[in-house]
């Protein structure tokens, strides 16, 4: 459609898609969406069919003239796209559950995006994303890739290093932190701003402002006293008062895995022992209920139950970012983008999660100085882990994979890393053709 946007959602059958569609509806006046393509793979066809019908009902209810398409042929969908949104899960929830259970066997944190679980997911996902990028380079060379696929920092790093696609990585954690602070102070979230610095799921709030006035100490005091700072997919364990006073920074919910490892491991084991299961098993039940709701022909809005899935603020983050690029707004978003000296302590060419000014030419990261010494080491080690994981996934390198796991703070042992890696490669052999030679040699 002339002068109207074509947006392609890779992973269109995701339970998160109604959240995204709601965002497009809310911003219809500033974002002239003409064509929306929902793309998935054969295994996801049933869910794609349901999401497609719900999307059409939502758009009809809103009275908008948006053409919605569903397809299993991504090349067909990508031709001439303006924006491509990735929200895929290679191997589905079945592989996620394996990712979360395997580390527990070794008395280690089992989590989807951190530690050994995030590593396994990255190995499966990077080759698929890079194949997608080849198609985008050919069929939609001017498109922006908005990556929501986890682990978002590592995936964005891979795209930035191994493709020519214009990419911005996005996560709902920073916007969730802003909203949590707003609720804590009983104010509107647009009055709160936070100076973010770090990596995806490893980001810290350096300073916090209300209407431009610094309120960092007040917020940290409330957090150390037990104020809510979490999200649906992470156990809400109170932060240690001593830790918050020592950090002098606002941690993100995922930092619990690093600063409260023993307690978080205890929570994971307790959930398994009580029959609740790992998070992936819990999500399976939530998704089953969601798709039963989505399949109701009377439903024409995003159901409130979706918030249990852990994707709150997704549409706010994704659609507002797209609007900022399209409308050249030059407003601040927290994104995963090339460092370019924003964080002095990290190389210029790595992907970081920072505040950036977003307009027609993409995201320009805002300078935030050096990382505070109390978190510099942790962030450096995670970035080294991410870089080695990308190299391992692209090259099929056993030893880079082994080193990546060994230096990850949630593994931190060569013997455990080797056992984990060997099992990860065996269990994911159908998704890791780049490691076929390694597996053959080990037989």
User: Which positions are annotated as active-site residues?
Assistant: 254
Beta strands in 223-289 (DSSP E): none
The values of phi and psi at residue 232, to 5°, are -60, -30
Task: Choose among 98, 100, 129, 101: nearest CA to 112.
Answer: 100
Nearest to 122 by CA among 131, 113, 109, 111: 113
Residue 254 contacts residue 114 (beta carbons within 8 Å) = yes
Q: 250: which DSSP letter?
A: B
- Contact (Cβ atoms closer than 8 angstroms) between residue 434 and residue 127: yes
How far is 392 from 438, CA to CA, in rounded Å?
12
What is the spatial distance between Cα 159 and Cα 175, in angstroms, rounded to a whole number?
A: 23
Rounded to whole angstroms, the Cα distance separating 377 from 64 reads: 50
Interatomic CA distance for residues 224 and 186, integer angstroms = 18
Encoding tokens for residue 119? 């590593």
CA distance 238 to 25: 37
Name which of 49, 50, 47, 52 is nearest 36 in CA terms: 52
Nearest Cα to Cα of residue 176 among 218, 230, 221: 230
Q: State the DSSP H helix or E strand holding residue 33, giving kind and residue range, or none if neither.
A: strand 33-39
With contact defined as beta carbons under 8 Å apart, do 290 and 217 qualify?
no
Instruction: Answer positive or negative: Cα dihedral of 11, 36, 17, 26.
Output: positive
Residue 262, H or E segment:
helix 261-273
Full DSSP string of 103-171: HHHTTS---SSSHHHHHHHHHHHHHHHHHHHHHHHHH-TTPEEEE--SSHHHHHHHHHHH---EEEE--
Q: Kindly give the residue spans of alpha helices, DSSP state H, lying in 9-79.
A: 17-26, 45-62, 74-78
Phi-psi category of residue 270: left, alpha or beta, with phi > 0 → left and psi -120 to 50 → alpha: alpha
């Amino acid at each position: 459609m002339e002068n109207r946007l074509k947006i392609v959602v890779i992973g269109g059958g995701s339970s998160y898609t109604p959240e995204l569609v709601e965002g497009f509806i809310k911003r219809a006046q500033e974002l002239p969406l003409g064509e929306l393509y929902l793309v998935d793979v054969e295994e996801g066809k049933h869910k794609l069919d349901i999401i497609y019908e719900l999307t059409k009902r939502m758009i009809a209810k809103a009275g908008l003239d948006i053409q919605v398409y569903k397809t299993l042929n991504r090349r067909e969908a990508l031709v001439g796209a303006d924006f491509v949104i990735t929200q895929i899960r290679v191997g589905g929830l079945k592989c996620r559950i394996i990712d979360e259970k395997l580390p527990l066997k070794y008395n280690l944190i089992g989590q989807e995006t951190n530690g050994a679980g995030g590593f396994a997911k990255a190995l499966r996902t990077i080759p698929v994303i890079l194949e997608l990028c080849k198609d985008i380079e050919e069929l939609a060379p001017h498109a922006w890739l908005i990556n929501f696929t986890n682990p978002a920092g590592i995936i964005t790093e891979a795209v930035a290093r191994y493709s020519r696609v214009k990419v911005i990585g996005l996560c709902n954690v920073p916007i969730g932190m802003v909203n949590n602070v707003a609720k804590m102070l009983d104010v509107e979230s647009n009055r709160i701003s936070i100076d973010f610095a770090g990596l995806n799921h490893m980001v810290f709030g350096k300073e916090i402002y209300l209407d431009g006035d610094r309120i960092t100490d007040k917020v940290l005091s409330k957090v150390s006293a037990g104020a809510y700072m979490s999200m649906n997919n992470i156990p809400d364990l109170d932060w240690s008062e001593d830790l918050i006073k020592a950090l002098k920074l606002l941690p993100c919910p995922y930092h619990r895995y690093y600063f409260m490892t023993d307690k978080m491991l205890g929570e994971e084991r307790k959930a398994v022992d009580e029959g609740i299961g790992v998070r992936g098993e819990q999500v399976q039940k939530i998704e089953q209920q969601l798709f039963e709701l989505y399949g109701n022909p009377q439903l024409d809005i995003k159901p409130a139950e979706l918030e249990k899935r852990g994707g709150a603020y997704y549409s706010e983050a994704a659609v507002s970012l797209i609007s900022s690029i399209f409308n050249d707004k030059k407003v601040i978003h927290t994104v995963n983008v090339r460092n370019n000296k924003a964080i002095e302590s990290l190389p210029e060419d790595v992907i970081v999660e920072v505040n950036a000014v977003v307009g027609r030419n993409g995201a320009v990261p805002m300078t935030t100085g050096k990382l505070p010494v109390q978190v510099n080491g942790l962030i450096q080690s995670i970035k080294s882990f991410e870089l080695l994981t990308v190299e391992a996934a692209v090259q099929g390198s056993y030893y880079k994979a082994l080193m990546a796991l060994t230096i990850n703070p949630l593994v931190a042992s060569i013997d455990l890393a080797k056992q984990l890696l060997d099992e990860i490669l065996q269990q994911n052999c159908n998704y890791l053709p780049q490691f076929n030679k390694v597996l053959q040699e080990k037989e």
